Structure 1
Amino acid sequence: MRESNDEPAEETSKAPHRRWCCCGFLRRRVRKDEETPDRNNDSREVTQEISSPAESVNAYAMELSTPPSDHSDEDYVPPAIDSDENKSNLVGLSDQINRITAMLKDWKLSQLLFVSIFGMTGIGKTTLAKEIFEHPLISDRFHHRVWVDLGPNYRPENVLHDIVAQLDADVDRMHHNVIKYLSKFMRSNTCLVVLDGVWDTEVFNYLLRFLKDMTKNRSAVLVTTTLEQVAVFSQSYRVHQMRLLNEEDSWSLLRHKVFDEMPCPPELVKPGKRIAENCEGLPLTIVTVADLLSKLEKSPECWKKIAEQEEHSVFMDAYEKMSEVLFPNYDYLPRHLKEPFLYSGVFPMKKSIPYSKIVNLWISEGFLEQNPLKTPENVAAECLKDLISRSVVMVHQQSTIHFYLFPIDVLKLVELRYLSLTYNGNLPSSISKLSNLECLIVGRPLAITSVENPLCLPVEIWDMKKLKHLQFTGSNQVPDPGEGSFLPNLVTLSDISARSCNTGVFRSIPNLKKLGIRIELSPDEATDREPLSCFQHISHLEKLESLKCVVVNPIFNTTGIAVCPPPPLSVFPSGLKKLSLCGLGYPWEEMSKIALLPNLEVLKLRSYAFRGPKWEVEDNRFLRLEFILIEDSDLVRWTAGNGSFPFLECLNIKHCYKLQAMPRKFSFDLGKIQVVDCTPLVVNWAKKLTKIDVRVDASWDDKTLKK
C-alpha cells in the first residue's frame, strides 16, 4: 500500500459523529412483532441475552426477516421527506438542481441519457428529483414528462402501464401491445421518465432494456436510488451522488422547519445550531427533529437541554418516527449481508469504526460466507464494499468507516473471538479457555507503564491456536514456547519486548506478517547489547511484510554516540514491504543491507535510527521504495547514485537541523515533499524541484523560508 504521509490514519477517529436511526426502528419492529398474537415464543427471545454472538445475530436476523402480519406484497415505500410541504426542504440543493437541469437541457445526442441521483435514504433524492421534474427549463425541453413512484415490490410491467397512462390517458391500461405503443410514441417525442426509488437491479435492468430500445430522440431517464449498481449501469450515464448538508445548511433547514418565515429568537440560535449539528447533515433527521421541536416550548432552557443530551427524548422519538422509512434498507439486504451489518451494533454511538477492526470482527464471529478461492479478508472487503454501494454504510474518512442504521439491541455481543481491554497486570492463564479467540488487544494506562514492570503473557498463550492478532501497549514479554507449540494463524504481533525476539518464538509463528518490537532500556542496561540483538533472528519470519522497532529511551553519550553500539544489522526477510526504525543509533553504513531489499516500499527513520554526518547511497538501490521519512537526525550530507529511488513518490524530512546537502535528482514519480524545521539549504533545494507539491513548515520566522 502506498503512503501519502508520514503516518497512517489513526485507528479511531476523534470526530464527534453520532449514529442514528436503526436503534429506534429495530426496537419498534421487535415490539410490534411480539404484540402479534400468532407469533411463536421464539420471536421474543431476540431481546434476551444469548451466549453466542453468532447465534444472537442469526436469531435477530431471522426475526427481522419475517414481516409482520399487516405487511402487503405491494408495499410502497414513500419518500423520506415530503418535498411538497414547503420550499424549506430545498436548503443546500440549489446548485445541485442547476447542475442536473443543465445536464438534461443541454443533451444533444440521439441516444437515451441516463441520470442517476444516488445516496442514502433520507438525504433528499426525491426532493431534488421533483424540483428538476417541475423546473420550467425541463418542461420546455421535453414534450412529455412521466413520474413513476417505485418500491421494493413494484412489478416491471406495472411501470410500463403507468408510463402509458401518463402519456395518454385514453389508452387502456390493459393494452396488450404496451411495448409496441411505447416504442412508437417515444421515438417521435422527447420524453423525461423519472423512476423514483429503484430498489432492485433486476427490475431496473428489465425496464432500461425496453426504454433504451424505444428512445432514440434525445430523451432521458432520471432515477433516484440507494444502489450504486443501478447508478452506474448505462454507458451514457451521469451519476450525481448526494452529499450531506454542512453545518450552515443544516441550521438553515432546521430553522425554516421550526419557524417557517418567522425569525428565530436570538437566544435560541446557539442551542439550535448544536441541535442541527447533532443531526449530522442528514435532511431526514433534521426535518424529523424539527417537527418535534416545533411542538415543544421554544425557550433557551428547553433547547439547551436537548442540545446537550445525546439521548434526549426528542432524538429518540425522531429515530422512532424515521423507522418506517429506514427499515427497508435492512429488510432488502441480501441474507449474506444482514448479519455483518447487524453486528455493527457492538460499537458505541459517536464512534467511527476502523476498517481493520470491523473486518477482524466479521471474520472472527464467522459472519462471512466461505469462499475457497478467496481469503477471509478479501471476502470481508467485498462485503464492506457491497454495504457501502447500498448506502447503508458511509465512508467516514481514510481507513475508517461510519455506520448509519445500526441495531442497538446487538450492543452486548462482543465476546469469545475478539477481546480488547485495559489491564494493569499479567493476564491469567485461564485466558487460554477462550479457545476461539482470534484478536487479543491489551492496553495499559501510560502512567503505570515502566521498564521494571513489563507485561508477561502466560505460557498458555501458545494453546490458543486460532489467534490471528496480538496487540499490546508497553513492553510485553512472550514466553518461550514448549516443544511442538506454535501459533499457525498468527499474522500480527505488536509491541513485544526485544527479549522475546528469539529463535524459539519466531519459529513458532511462521506465518507472521506484521511485527512490532519495543525496546525500553533502564540506565543499568546502558551497556547491555542483548536487547539490541533482536534483529539477528528476524530472518526466521519468512512471510514478514511489516516491521517496526522502537527504542523508547535511547541512551547516547555527550558526543552523540550510543553508549552501547548496536550489533550489525542482520539479513531481513526479502518480502519486507514496510520498515520503521526509531532510536537505534546505527551507523549509516548499515543502511546498505536495507537498500537491497527487493520489495521495500515504505521506510521510516526516527529519533536517530541511524547516526553520522554522511549517508551515501550506491547506484541502483531502493528499487521499490515509494515513501521515506527521516525525522530527528544528525545527518549532514545525503547523496544518491544513479538509478536509486526510481519509484519514490513522497519524501518527508523533519527536524534535521544539520542537513546541508541532498541528492541532486529523484525520479519523475516524486510528487510530494514535506520539509519541517530544517535548514534553509534544504528548503531551497526542495523548492527548486518543479512540478512537485512542496510543503514547508517552520517553528521560527526566517526570511529565507519565505522566498
Structure 2
Amino acid sequence: MVGFDDNLMAIKDKLCGNSSKLQVIPIVGMGGIGKTTLATKAYHDPSINENFNVRAWVTLSQDSSKEKVSSSLVCAMENFVVGRSNESNEVKVFQALKGRKYLLVLDDIWSTKAWDDIMMMFPDDNNKSRIILTTRLSDVAAYPDSCSHLHEMDLLDDDQSWNLLRQNIFNGKEDYPLELEIIGKEIARSCGGLPLAIVVIAGVLSKVDNNRASWEKIARNVKSTIAKEENGKFEEILSLSYNHLPRHLRPCFLYMGGFPEDYDINIPRLVKLWVAEEFIHDIRPSSVSRSLEEVAEEEYLADLVKRNLVMVTERKSDGRIKTCRVHDLMRELCIRISRKENFLVHVTDKGIPVENLRRIFINRNDLNCLANIYRSTTRTVICFMELNKDSYKDLTYFRFMRIICILSARCDMSDCIASLCVEDFNLFNIRYLAFPYPTKIPPTISNLLNLQALIIHESLNECKQSLPTKIWTMKELRHLICYRFGELPNPPDEGASSGYGLENLQTLWEVTNLICTENILEMIPNVKELGICYTIDNREKEYELDNLVRLKQLERFKLTLSYPLDVWKGKNITLAFPKTLKWLSFGGWSRPWSEMTIVGSLPNLQVLKIKENILRGETWETVEGEFLELKHLMIKGSKLERWVTESNHFPKLERLLIHQCLELRNISNDIGEISTLELIEVKSGLKSTAEWAERIQREQRDYRYDVTEVRCLNLSFLVL
C-alpha cells in the first residue's frame, strides 16, 4: 500500500498495545487523504482479526444520530446480539460487547456531540478492546481521550505520489512505457499529495491510450479533470468539509481561495484583511478583552486549521502561525464556490467578467483589466504581481473601495518613491491600504476617515516613509506598518486632551527615532506591537525609554540601534518595560549583561532575541526566579564568552538559537537538563559550541525518550 506502510504499522502497534484499558485510536486529516483507506487496511489485516472476538464497522455522517449508529452496530454484530425485542438498540449493543474483546471502527465522525451520544454503548472490561475513529476535525479526534496521541495523516511526497499513480494504472507492473514517466510524475505532483486525487486521475489515465500525447492532454487540466470525474464524486467529498463549516467561517475560508496556487499566506496580513472585510465578530466573549485581530487568529484561523482545511507552513518563534496555505484542490473548490456565490473572482491572463464583482484578486502584471469592470459594486482589489506606476490610474475610478492591497512592485523602477496622489482618490470607505514601496502621503489622507490599516510592505534603497501631522486625527487607524517609517510628526500641543490621538492603534512598526515622551505615548495608549530604530541622526537626544511602562497593552517590542557603539556609549539610558510584554527583540545596543535581570523579571515574556553586540561583558550569569515563561531564546552576533546557568533558570525554554557567536567557548551543560527543551540551533559559530550541543543530545539519550533536536548550520563557516 503505497505511502501507507508506516501509517499502517503505527495503527497496528496501537491496536496490539499492552494497555488493557479500552483505547480510542483517532485518525485525523483532510478529506481524501486516506483515513478510511488506512482504517480499512488495519480492520481487515489478518494479524489484527485474530486478536478480537467481535469486530464491527459503522460509517457516520453529518446528521448521524444515536439511533442510526446503534441500529447500524446491531446489524453489523447480528451474530452476537441477543435480548428481548423490546430492548433498545443501545442496550443490545452494550450487551453484545460486554465481556468480549472488540474492535470497532467509527468512520467519518463530525462532532463531539456524536461521541457523547454513543460512548455509553462501549463497555471497558480491561480486555484490550479498541475503537478506531476517523475524522477531519482535530478537536473531535482529541475529544474521547485528551491524552491520546492523534494519528495525523500527511500528504504523500512526489515519489510516493508517482508510485501510487503508477500502481493504480499499471497494477504494480514495472513494464510500462518509459516515455510516460516524466509526464506521469508531473501529473502526480499536480495532485498535491492527496491520495484520493491520485486514484481518481489514475482512473482517467487508465481509460486513455498509453502514449505521451494522451497523457499530456490530461496533464494540462489535471484539477478540472479530477473535479468532473465520476459525476463529481471527488468534489462532493471535498465539499463535505465546506458544507460542515459554521456560517461565520465560510467567507474566511473562501477568501483564502483567492490567493495564488502554492502561495504561503502571511497570517498577520490575512487577519487584518478579514477584519477590514468585517468577517470577524467576537462570537465567544471572554473575560479578557481581545482585539478583532486576536479573535481572527485565535478562533477563526485556529478552527480552520483544526478542521484540516488549512495547512500550517511556518510558525513564529512564539509558536503562533506565521504562514499557511490551502491545498491546491481545496483552493479550486473555493474558486468554484466563490464564482457561483459571486463572492470573489481570481483574475489571471484569461480574462475577467465585468459585472457585479465584489472582490477581485489579480494575478497579472497590470491593473488594466479594472478599466472594464462595473465599478460601483467592487469593494476589494488585491494584486499579487509586480506592477508599473501607470497601472494605478485605474484605481482612481473606484468610489466604494474598502480594500486596496498591492503586494509587489517592479524592481526596475528608476524612482524608489512612486507617485501616489491620494488627493485624486475619493475613497471615503477605504479601510485597508497597502502598497509595496514608500510613497508620498499628503495631509489629505486624513480624509480617509474609515482607514484601519496603512501598510508599506518593503522599502527600496532603504528610503524612510514619512507621515503627515494629520495622521494624529485618524481615529480608526489600527495598524501603521512599514519597513521603516521616518520620525513621527509632532502631535499638536494640546495632544490627546483635545481629541487628537490614535486610541485604536494596535501596531506601529517600525518608526525611526521615537522619543517616548508622556505626550507621545498618551496618543498611542493601546498599542500592542511597537518597533523603534534609533539612528545616528538622533544621538544627542534622550530617548525616555523608561516611559514605555505606560503602554499597558504592549506585547511585542523591537528595539534597534543602527549606529556605531562608541557613538552612544556614554548615554544615560534607563530601560523599563510593561509587565504585559511577551516578545522582545534587542539589536545593536551595548548594555552590561547584569541588566538582563530587568528583562528576566518580565512575568509574561515568552520570546527574547538578543542581536548584534547588544550586551557588554564576557560572562552572563543567570539566577533562579527569572525568565519563568520564556520559551524561545536567540543570541546572535554577541561577544559573550561564558554563559553560566542552570536548568531551573529557564524552566519552560523550548528553543535555543545561538547564531554567529564567535567567542562563546563555555556554556553550562545544565541547559541539557531543561525538560521542555526541543531544539538547540548553532549557526555560523565556534565548532566547540556545535560539539557542546551534540554532546548534550548524546547524554539525553540515556535518560530521555524525546531528546532535544540539534541543528548545526553553515558548518563550513564554523571557526575552529
Alignment TM-score, normalising by the size of structure 2: 0.70
Q: Return closer, same or farther for 1:106/1:644 CA change in 2, 3 Å cut-off.
A: closer
The number of residues matched between the two structures is 591
Q: Which residue of 1 aligns with 2:308?
A: 391
Distance apart, 1:639 and its partner CA: 7.0
C-alpha distance in structure 2 between counterparts of 1:677 and 1:173, whole Å: 73
C-alpha distance in structure 1 between counterparts of 2:36 and 2:105, whole Å: 10
Q: 2:11 matched to 1:100? A: yes
Distance apart, 1:591 and its partner CA: 4.1
Distance apart, 1:486 and its partner CA: 0.9
Q: 2:281 matched to 1:368? A: yes
Q: 2:508 matched to 1:496? A: no
Render the CA deviation track for 1:134-158: whole Å, top value 9, x for unaligned: 3323443444443333322344323
Q: Which residue of 1 aligns with 2:587?
A: 582
Render the CA deviation track for 1:650-703: whole Å, top value 9, x for unaligned: 65444344556667977953956555444567667777876587665566588x
Q: Return closer, same or farther for 1:431/1:192 CA change in 2, 3 Å cut-off.
A: same
Distance apart, 1:252 and its partner CA: 0.7
What are the within-5 Å matches in structure 2 for residues 292-691 of structure 1?
292-295=204-207, 298-300=210-212, 312-320=220-228, 321=232, 322-364=234-276, 365-373=278-286, 374=288, 375=290, 376=292, 379-380=295-296, 381-398=298-315, 399=321, 400-404=323-327, 405-406=330-331, 407-408=334-335, 409=338, 410-411=343-344, 412=359, 413=380, 415=403, 416-446=430-460, 448-450=461-463, 454-482=464-492, 483=495, 484=498, 485-498=500-513, 503-521=518-536, 525=537, 529-530=539-540, 533=543, 535=545, 538-552=548-562, 554-555=563-564, 562-563=566-567, 565=569, 567-575=571-579, 576-584=581-589, 586=590, 588=592, 591=595, 594=598, 597-599=601-603, 602-610=607-615, 614=618, 624=628, 628-633=633-638, 635=639, 638=642, 647=651, 649=653, 652-658=657-663, 669=674, 671=677, 674-678=681-685
Distance apart, 1:248 and its partner CA: 1.9
C-alpha distance in structure 1 between counterparts of 2:131 and 2:596, whole Å: 62
Amino acid at match of 1:341: F
Given candidates 161, 178, 190, the residue that maps to 1:278 is 190
Q: Which residue of 2 aligns with 1:222?
A: 132
Render the CA deviation track for 1:364-407: whole Å, top value 9, x for unaligned: 42433444425245543133333333332333332233334342
Q: Is the 8 A contact 2:684 2:717 kept in 1?
A: no
Q: 2:33 matched to 1:123? A: yes
Amino acid at match of 2:314: Q
Given candidates 228, 234, 238, the residue that maps to 2:144 is 234
Amino acid at match of 1:489: N
Amino acid at match of 1:496: V
Distance apart, 1:191 and its partner CA: 4.6
C-alpha distance in structure 2 between counterparts of 1:651 and 1:119, whole Å: 31
C-alpha distance in structure 1 between counterparts of 2:583 and 2:710, whole Å: 24
Distance apart, 1:441 and its partner CA: 1.8
Amino acid at match of 1:93: F
Distance apart, 1:544 and its partner CA: 3.0
3-state DSSP of counterpart to 2:8: helix
Given candidates 115, 118, 123, the residue that maps to 1:207 is 118
Render the CA deviation track for 1:437-465: whole Å, top value 9, x for unaligned: 3333213443x333xxx311233332332
Amino acid at match of 1:389: K
C-alpha distance in structure 1 between counterparts of 2:312 and 2:261, whole Å: 16
Given candidates 118, 132, 135, the residue that maps to 2:42 is 132
Amino acid at match of 1:388: V
> Mean Cα displacement is larger for which, 221-230 or 121-130?
221-230
Q: Return closer, same or farther for 1:377/1:467 CA change in 2, 3 Å cut-off.
A: same
Q: Return closer, same or farther for 1:349/1:437 CA change in 2, 3 Å cut-off.
A: farther
Render the CA deviation track for 1:624-669: whole Å, top value 9, x for unaligned: 5665544334x37557699995658465444344556667977953
Q: Return closer, same or farther for 1:587/1:254 CA change in 2, 3 Å cut-off.
A: same
Q: Is the 8 A contact 1:186 1:217 kept in 2?
A: no
Alignment TM-score, normalising by the size of structure 1: 0.71
Amino acid at match of 1:114: V
Q: Which residue of 2 aligns with 1:254?
A: 165
Distance apart, 1:203 and its partner CA: 3.5
C-alpha distance in structure 1 between counterparts of 2:139 and 2:518, whole Å: 51
C-alpha distance in structure 1 between counterparts of 2:690 and 2:45, whole Å: 55
Distance apart, 1:336 and its partner CA: 3.4
Q: Return closer, same or farther for 1:486/1:253 CA change in 2, 3 Å cut-off.
A: same
Amino acid at match of 1:315: K
Amino acid at match of 1:116: P
Q: Is the 8 A contact 1:418 1:437 kept in 2?
A: yes
Q: Is the 8 A contact 1:116 1:222 kept in 2?
A: yes
Q: Is the 8 A contact 2:645 2:671 kept in 1?
A: no
C-alpha distance in structure 1 between counterparts of 2:325 and 2:95, whole Å: 48
C-alpha distance in structure 1 between counterparts of 2:671 and 2:153, whole Å: 41
Q: Return closer, same or farther for 1:602/1:221 CA change in 2, 3 Å cut-off.
A: closer
Say which structure, 1 or 2, has more relative contact order (CA 8 Å, 6+ apart): 1
Amino acid at match of 1:266: L
Q: Is the 8 A contact 2:546 2:577 kept in 1?
A: no
C-alpha distance in structure 2 between counterparts of 1:570 and 1:536, whole Å: 6
3-state DSSP of counterpart to 1:467: coil
3-state DSSP of counterpart to 1:337: helix
Distance apart, 1:351 and its partner CA: 1.7
Distance apart, 1:473 and its partner CA: 1.6
C-alpha distance in structure 1 between counterparts of 2:618 and 2:99, whole Å: 78
Q: 2:149 matched to 1:149? A: no
Render the CA deviation track for 1:90-131: whole Å, top value 9, x for unaligned: 32223333443454456784x654333322211112222222
Distance apart, 1:509 and its partner CA: 0.3
